């Protein structure tokens, strides 16, 4: 029994984005799958021009597209930057003024804005050899852009929820500290660089005029809250890795506020 190819491809895309049992697919996985179904090279930017992901199909040898994928974000003077201002989909000839490297005689390009939550989240560029992107393919690009928009909104929601959770954990951890432990944590925070630090508890204790156990207790409370992980290095001290930088920022803010009040 024959089926509609467009409908079949929409179902394939939906399965990638929506039909999963446990962990949702990554943004890169979604872009890769979408690229394979549409049979077109794709690049996704957020609204600031930061590269979120991309995929180049084997038949596409465009140096221009490949060069874009090597850049973490669009430069201020990049002609592609103007694509971020598009409010509706635009293809080929309509893009010739914005994209000097378009080569309409060799390829076909369409740009789909990702609109969601009352604002634009980014743009999706789709490129394929000339006459490869037909009406059905363009429809799939639109479907893919809508699903990518939904994916980005879900990520934003998760990030907000995670940030609130981290702040709550930070507040609980901070409120469990004694005044001496607050001083100890403040000193430890000064030594954290690139999320990591090696501290010598006895040296910090001597500089603050407190016992080593105060520092150990403070670190244990932070570790229980999932803010840090620590590992003894013997005589060298204690290795600390920050697992929750947002929570640590919140702790630093509260620590400064408490000291300001005192």
Query: Element (H or E) spanning 110, and its range?
Result: strand 107-116
Question: Quick one: DSSP state of residue 64?
Answer: H
The answer to whether the beta carbons of residues 81 and 49 sit under 8 Å apart is: yes
pLDDT digits 0-9 by tens, 99-154: 655 665 667 788 889 988 888 899 998 888 766 667 777 888 888 898 899 888 98
pLDDT at res. 180: 87
HSE-up (13 A, CA, CB side) for residue 43? 26
Q: Residue written as tokens 């928009």? A: 149
The answer to whether the beta carbons of residues 192 and 238 sit under 8 Å apart is: no
Instruction: Give me the domains of the chain, ranges plus CATH numbers.
Output: 5-160 (3.30.450.40), 176-261 (1.10.10.10)
CA distance 218 to 15: 47
pLDDT at res. 103: 62
The answer to whether the beta carbons of residues 39 and 5 sit under 8 Å apart is: no
C-alpha gyration radius of the chain? 25
pLDDT at res. 1: 45
Reduced to 3 states, what is the DSSP secondary structure of residue 248?
Answer: helix
Angle at 101 between CA 96 and CA 102, to 5 degrees: 50
- The alpha carbon of 250 is separated from its chain's Cα centroid by a whole number of angstroms, namely 21
CA distance 248 to 227: 7
- Which one is predicted more confidently, 200 or 79? 200
The burial of 107, by beta-carbon neighbours within 10 Å (0-12 exposed, 13-18 middle, 19 or more buried), is given as: buried
The answer to whether the beta carbons of residues 81 and 63 sit under 8 Å apart is: no
Q: Residue written as tokens 């999706």? A: 124
pLDDT digits 0-9 by tens, 17-44: 776 666 777 888 888 888 888 888 899 9
CA distance 168 to 250: 9
Please determine, for residue 244, whether its predicted confidence score (pLDDT) is greater than 80.
no
Backbone φ and ψ for 38, nearest 5 degrees, come out as -75, -25
Mean pLDDT of all residues in 142-168: 87
Reduced to 3 states, what is the DSSP secondary structure of residue 4?
Answer: coil
CA distance 222 to 185: 9
């Amino acid at each position: 029994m024959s089926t509609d190819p467009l409908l079949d491809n929409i179902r394939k895309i939906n399965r990638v984005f929506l039909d999963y049992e446990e962990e949702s697919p990554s943004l890169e996985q979604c872009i890769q799958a979408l690229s394979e179904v549409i049979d077109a090279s794709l690049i996704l930017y957020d609204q600031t021009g930061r590269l979120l992901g991309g995929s180049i199909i084997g038949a596409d040898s465009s140096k221009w597209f490949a060069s874009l994928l090597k850049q973490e974000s669009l430069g201020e003077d990049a002609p592609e930057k103007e694509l971020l201002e598009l409010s509706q989909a635009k293809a080929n000839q309509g893009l010739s003024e914005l994209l000097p490297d378009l080569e309409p005689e060799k390829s076909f390009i369409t740009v789909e804005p990702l609109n969601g939550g009352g604002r634009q989240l980014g743009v999706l560029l789709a490129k394929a050899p000339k006459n490869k992107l037909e009406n059905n393919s363009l429809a799939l690009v639109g479907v893919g852009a809508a699903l990518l928009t939904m994916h980005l909104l879900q990520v934003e929601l998760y990030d907000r929820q995670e940030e609130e959770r981290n702040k709550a954990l930070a507040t609980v951890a901070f409120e469990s500290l004694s005044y001496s432990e607050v001083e100890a944590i403040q000193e430890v925070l000064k030594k954290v660089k690139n999320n990591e630090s090696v501290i010598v508890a006895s040296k910090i204790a001597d500089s603050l005029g407190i016992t080593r156990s105060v520092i150990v207790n403070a670190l244990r409370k932070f570790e229980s809250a999932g803010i840090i992980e620590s590992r003894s290095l013997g005589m060298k001290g204690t290795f600390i890795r920050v697992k929750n930088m947002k929570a640590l920022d919140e702790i630093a803010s509260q620590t400064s506020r408490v000291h300001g009040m005192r």
